[in-house]
Amino acid sequence: MWPDPRLLDLFKIEHPIVLAPMAGAVDANLAIAVAEGGGLGSLPVAMLNEQQMRAQMEKIRAATSKPINVNFFVHKPPLLNNAREHAWRERLKPYYLELGPQADGGIESHALVFAFPRPNPTALFALPSFRRSLTDRP
């Protein structure tokens, strides 16, 4: 038994397991399997259109009555700004060259990596609003 039942009680699950809602890697089948196994199944819908989202959610509801996390973005998409895009790419170029992804293209397909001046580098996935804050820093 998990020593602190608050998470289990809140989500009405049996095990303290939450499926990471990874867009492109998780679908209704995996969410159903996790939910039926006693964890919290998650469905990432940020990359789905309304028809795809409805189909995935209907599939889940037909297969289980267990709780499901539906993960979506609610941030305002940024306006296209070529100067800003160029600035953050240039600022991060040394890290891309050191750590792998090409700095002159294909960055969008990788997690945005930014090494902070600490003993251990920190990796993070950045939304467009966070990218703006990177270019605003001195």
The DSSP code sequence of 74-99 is -SPPPPP-HHHHHHHHHHHHHHHHHH
Asked whether the predicted pLDDT for residue 30 surpasses 90, the reply is yes
Is the Cβ–Cβ distance between 43 and 64 less than 8 Å?
no
Select the more confidently predicted residue: 71 or 62.
Answer: 62
Record the tokens describing residue 14, joined without a space.
């049996």
Full-model pTM: 0.58
Asked whether the predicted pLDDT for residue 115 surpasses 70, the reply is no
- Please provide the distance, in angstroms rounded to a whole number, between the alpha carbons at the two ends of the chain: 49
